Structure 1
Amino acid sequence: MIPSLSMAKGLTLSQLIEKAITNNPEIKIARKEEKISQYQYREAIGKFFPSINLEYKKFSHSDAPEMSFSLPPLPPTSFPLLEKHYHDFQATLTQPLFTGGYLFYNAKLKKAAETAQFYKFQDCVAKVIAEVKKDYYTLSEAKTAVKIAEDYVKAAKNHLRDAKAFYDEGIVARRDYLEAEVKYREALEALTKAKSFYTVALEKLKTDTGIQEENIEVDKLSYKPVNYNESELIEKAFQSNPLLMALRKMKEGANYGVKMSYSQFLPKISVIMGYEKTDQYPGIGEFDETFGALVVQIPIFEGTQRYWRTLEAKENSKKVSLTLKQAKDKIKLGIIAAFSQLKSAESRIKTAQTMVEQAKELLRDSKERYKAHVGTSTEVCDAIAYYVKAEGTLNSAIADYNRSLAELEYFTGGLPASQPPIK
């Protein structure tokens, strides 16, 4: 008996998703990156405001310049132009007036990066949710597989009991008894494998949700027919997939980066206002003044740095464009694959449902024939195996169907409303 199968009420799928959003390390990292991008944008906005600096200096010179003069008949006289030891205090306010668009495009770039990071966070959450859903469906599949294996053991054991009773009475040959015993051993081995599958699936779900101690409540999977159009799913993904939206914003930001690199070649104008207080001038004590200046900076040569930065910005823009195209191709392929798997699983479900009904009838008929001594043990063993296979096929098909829906939901950024099934 697997302990988890006999646990009391535990976490449901929606609760597991909430736990994953809170505990998953990838989501935590993405959330931090989103915060960082917000602060970077605010920093870019702050560069539009004036900067105020306070500066204090204490000077000590080994010598000070002097001025000499003579007025005959007086002897020559000299006096220092600066004190050897003095202090200087200065407060300045600098306001950029024109930067060639550098500040404007820098703010636009950082805003695009902030928005891109928001969509990356949404993509990370959607990816984790899809993974948790697939883990949950796999765990449900494993739980049902254990139940099927337990039924297999029970059916094989009952047949072994009947075969042994008939053999003891001399009604059937020893071969029937041995065949029933082999089938029972196979059932026990199948149960062991099913339990192992369940243990691994449970641990995978716990790892992805970041929980270890809590109980997990797994419902049996159901099949709910949907009718989607592949081309419409691809179109919706191109519009709503968070990763593509993030890359579009990154492309927008890269274009601003190119414009920002061009702004390096333009003049920069700023205004400076300040207050200064010093005692460096001999004979007048403390001296203070206010001043203002209009500063125009014209870049002439910087060792080709601006040229290479411009080329770098252009290459980065091209790189993001290629990344966006690659992502669209991957998402399109993912939707095609998931949609194909969905249709395949749906077909298998319908076939398996018929197989299960036929297998039930075959097993019931085989048991009755065997008890009436008109059938063989081989027929019963084959009927049990056929029934177990049909149940397993149906279980796996339903799990594949739900996993494919989770994949489609991730790729499309949220599945559209299902159209009425085609009759």
Structure 2
Amino acid sequence: MHVVTLLLALLCCAVTGTAYAQPLTLRDALERAAATSQGLKSASREVEIAREQVNVARTARLPRVDLQGGYVAQAKAQAFKFGNQSQETQDPRYPFFNFSVYQTLYDFGRTSAGEGIARMRGEAAGYAYSGNEQDLFLQVVQAYYGIMTAQKLVQAAEDEVVQMESHRQTAQALFDEGVVTRNDLLQAEVRVASSRQNVLSAQNEVENGWLLLNYLTGAAPDFRAELKDESQLPKLPGAGAAPDLSRRGEIAAQKALVGADEFAVKEAKTSHYPEFFAKFGVDYLSNSKVREQAITAVTVGFKVNLFDGPASAARVRQAVQARSRDEERLRDLEERTRLEYAMAVNDLKVADARIKVAEKAITQGVENLRITKDRYQEHVGTATEVVDAQTLLTKTRTDYYRSVFDLQVAAARVKRATGEL
């Protein structure tokens, strides 16, 4: 039995050692997320699709080459009438083919406008990918520091269990001596049970945090590692400092869409302009009734739409309205980003202040608990005062750890707002 117990203990140690063999830094987590995120892979496809659309638009500058062929079987051959007589002009059954090369010579910028639309939308897709990547990084930061905070909360809850167990033993000893009533003992036992529940809740928060981080980084759900907090305390931005939004992906993407709208307006305005073209063609039709069965021709000409109802004017108005819409969206996005930045800076400053207050409060809480326990042992204080002192100390530690978490997340939000995360 002892051998089996020893083997199980060694196995658990081996598993634990494997799970925590290597530390996981925040930078490592961000790199893994960037490499394995399915959402980013999907966004990268959008970028590739947009780039291929640029290639599609560029083909309008190249000549169009078409080949067509077939076989025609008619019930009767076509013929001319000469009085009461007729003369067939073609065979009733014949093969044919057509080969043509069509090249646009000049279309008043319609082709270049279409190419510009595709190019600007391709740039917008690339900037949007950057924004998606920044969002993913912020989630990783929140999950990473969330785990570290939860681990600290587990330690605080376990310390509380130790303190409450010590208090229970003291209450048991005093009760056995007949100094205190059974209520003190029962209160201590209930508080021990409550503290153990807090440990379970904190441990569950750690496990859920790992599940989220593993999902974001593409790791197995049961992966565990030693997290390393190598970040330095963020530098507080100066008062009234204007954020630099030039690196914000969403804003750059929206600006690119506005640029695409400019080209769309230009394209719509050229719909009634003529298009000059050149065409080379070979038309073959098997016909024993004529001398020339293959016609080779070169054509230089133009084509223009003279009237298509209100469609052309409507397309111009539609393009102008789309440009105005995207310009309004750009202005709104810039304002929302400035608001996001300002709120993150405020949260950063408040979290920094909370940490300084909590650090002093922890020292005071420890001393308060010590004095309260001494008073209780000397039959001066009450059991309720001891429980309250311990609860206050645990809450102060919890506030401190959460303030540290809020500080790091707020710093990441500041960088996210400016596109520098």
TM-score category (smaller protein): 0.7 to 0.9
CA contact (8 A) 2:257 2:326 kept: yes
Counterparts of 2:187 and 2:164, CA distance in 1 = 10
For residue 25 of structure 1, what is the aligned residue in structure 2?
38
Counterparts of 1:396 and 1:77, CA distance in 2 = 105
Normalising by structure 2, we get a TM-score of 0.88
Letter in 2 for 1:64: Q
Letter in 1 for 2:209: A
Letter in 1 for 2:363: E
Deviation at 1:368, TM superposition (A): 4.0
Deviation at 1:365, TM superposition (A): 3.4
User: 1:210 and 1:335, CA in 2 relative to 1: closer, same or farther beyond 3 A?
Assistant: same
Instruction: Tell me the percent identity.
Output: 23
1:272 aligns with one of 271, 279, 284: 279
User: 1:311 and 1:230, CA in 2 relative to 1: closer, same or farther beyond 3 A?
Assistant: farther
CA contact (8 A) 2:279 2:299 kept: yes
CA contact (8 A) 1:12 1:216 kept: no
Verify: 1:224 aligned to 2:233, yes or no.
yes
Task: Within 5 Å, give how 1:340-351 maps onto structure 2.
Answer: 340-351=346-357
For residue 113 of structure 1, what is the aligned residue in structure 2?
121
Counterparts of 2:230 and 2:383, CA distance in 1 = 34
For residue 247 of structure 2, what is the aligned residue in structure 1?
240
Please state whether the residue corresponding to 1:236 is helix, strand or coil. Answer: coil
Verify: 1:365 aligned to 2:377, yes or no.
no
Letter in 1 for 2:157: A
Shifted more, 307-316 versus 113-122: the winner is: 307-316
Shifted more, 171-180 versus 20-29: the winner is: 171-180
For residue 401 of structure 1, what is the aligned residue in structure 2?
407
Please state whether the residue corresponding to 1:235 is helix, strand or coil. Answer: coil
Letter in 1 for 2:237: Y
Deviation at 1:342, TM superposition (A): 1.0
Please state whether the residue corresponding to 1:265 is helix, strand or coil. Answer: coil
CA contact (8 A) 2:32 2:217 kept: yes
Task: Within 5 Å, give how 1:161-310 maps onto structure 2.
Answer: 161-211=169-219, 212-219=221-228, 224-229=233-238, 231-232=240-241, 234-237=242-245, 239-282=246-289, 284=291, 287-310=293-316
| Ranges in structure 1 where 5+ consecutive residues have no aligned partner | 70-75, 416-423
Shifted more, 120-129 versus 195-204: the winner is: 195-204
For residue 397 of structure 2, what is the aligned residue in structure 1?
391
Shifted more, 40-49 versus 353-362: the winner is: 353-362
CA contact (8 A) 1:50 1:96 kept: yes
Counterparts of 1:249 and 1:31, CA distance in 2 = 17
CA contact (8 A) 1:272 1:292 kept: yes
| Ranges in structure 2 where 5+ consecutive residues have no aligned partner | 1-12
Counterparts of 1:281 and 1:242, CA distance in 2 = 68
Counterparts of 2:228 and 2:179, CA distance in 1 = 45
Deviation at 1:320, TM superposition (A): 0.6
CA contact (8 A) 2:236 2:348 kept: no
Deviation at 1:201, TM superposition (A): 2.8
Counterparts of 1:38 and 1:297, CA distance in 2 = 31
Deviation at 1:175, TM superposition (A): 4.1
Counterparts of 1:179 and 1:283, CA distance in 2 = 116
Counterparts of 1:283 and 1:272, CA distance in 2 = 25
Please state whether the residue corresponding to 1:303 is helix, strand or coil. Answer: coil
Counterparts of 2:85 and 2:357, CA distance in 1 = 117
- Any idea what the Cα deviations from partners look like across 1:205-238, whole Å, max 9, x if unmatched? 3343343242243346977151213643x5312x
1:46 aligns with one of 59, 63, 69: 59
User: 1:60 and 1:269, CA in 2 relative to 1: closer, same or farther beyond 3 A?
Assistant: same
Verify: 1:136 aligned to 2:149, yes or no.
no
Counterparts of 1:49 and 1:349, CA distance in 2 = 66
Normalising by structure 1, we get a TM-score of 0.87
CA contact (8 A) 1:86 1:279 kept: yes
